[in-house]
Amino acid sequence: MCRWATQSGGVERPQMDIDQLKGRLRIPAMVSPLFLGSGPDMVVESCKAGLIGTFPELNQRTAEGFEQWLREIRQRLDGKDCAPFGAQFTPHDTNPRFGPDLQAAIKYQLPIVITTIRITREVTDAVHAYGGLVFHDATTIRHAQKAVEANVDAVIAVTHGAGGHSGSYNPFAFMAELRAVLQDKALILAGGISDGQSVAGAIVAGADLVSMGTCFVPTVECMTSQGHKQMILDSNITDIVYTDEVSGMGASFLGQTLKKFKVSENSVRSLDVMREITPKVWRDYWSAGQGVGGSTEILTVRALAERLEREYIAAMRRAGSIARQHASNRDKIFGARADPDRLAS
């Protein structure tokens, strides 16, 4: 396993907290689990580049295949100085794979378990027992409250502008309300984050980490089709359509594919996980978030990570410079020991 892991009683265990996790990253970012896009190559290269690499459990069509991917990723990262990896699970009545896949995650001590739609204390207890972390997707305050009740380590605030299944809230407004709900839990922001400047803005605004998806679709290691990658390069924010007509849940798609493959008026409007993963649904209807305009060329994951780091550092330096200038201006106007309450009036 990666060198971030520690030994406990002869058993390899992650045993991280969020601050330790962030200390292993190039920038405070996770590569989102991309349905039909994330596989072992993308996960491994993300981790080696200093980003959390993830994939959806259902990108492998069988429980045996999922377990094989876990083994492969662990073997390829063994002994490397890298970031941890995770997988996304869908605990839903229509997903018979969840139980076997979670058992495989426990068997191989998956460092990060991401859940969407539902989360229970039984899941978090099982993952925490071997030292893993649990992140949960939330598009509403109620989702976040249930995640906190289940004792997750972090809530992923999936906001308006995210690719695939996403929320409808403004990221800054949602984060502001979540702070009181999350208590000591970490906050991961997802939605429209496609460059290092956006990562810096999210961190300055109060997020612990960000989740980035769309900008990693046009990478060499992503398993999506060349057509999907090229359409992202050719698109901008005006091409993104948010609709629940494809899968019964609100999601963001490239409008060009919605026009090409008209959604049937008789399509199912309630979530069915097994229907979701049928090849046709997400094969024909290509997903992307509102940050689509930030992608202009196909890069390797490492090259993209290096670009994001340069942008992030430049943005944080700018923020620091602005803060110092503000302090200087404040002192000139109000004196060096100005009352902060007076500044706010």
The domain locations on the chain are 6-233+287-320
Amino acid identity, position 332: K
What residues contact 201, with CB distance under 8 A and at least 6 apart?
315
The domain 6-233+287-320 is classified under which CATH number: 3.90.260.10, 3.20.20.70, 1.25.40.850, 3.20.20.10? 3.20.20.70
CA 207, 213, 214, 218 dihedral sign is positive
Backbone angles phi, psi at 9, to 5 degrees: 60, 30
Contact in structure between 288 and 191 (CB atoms under 8 Å): no
Contact in structure between 213 and 164 (CB atoms under 8 Å): yes
What residues contact 18, with CB distance under 8 A and at least 6 apart?
133, 153, 154, 186, 208, 209
pLDDT tens for the chain, 345 residues long, are 454 444 333 334 445 789 999 999 999 999 999 999 999 999 999 999 999 999 999 999 899 999 999 999 999 998 888 999 999 999 888 889 999 999 999 999 999 999 998 999 999 999 999 999 999 999 999 999 999 999 999 999 999 999 988 899 999 999 999 999 998 999 999 999 999 999 999 999 999 999 999 999 999 999 999 999 999 999 999 999 998 887 778 889 999 988 866 655 555 555 555 555 554 556 778 999 999 999 999 999 999 999 999 999 999 999 999 999 998 888 888 875 555 554 444
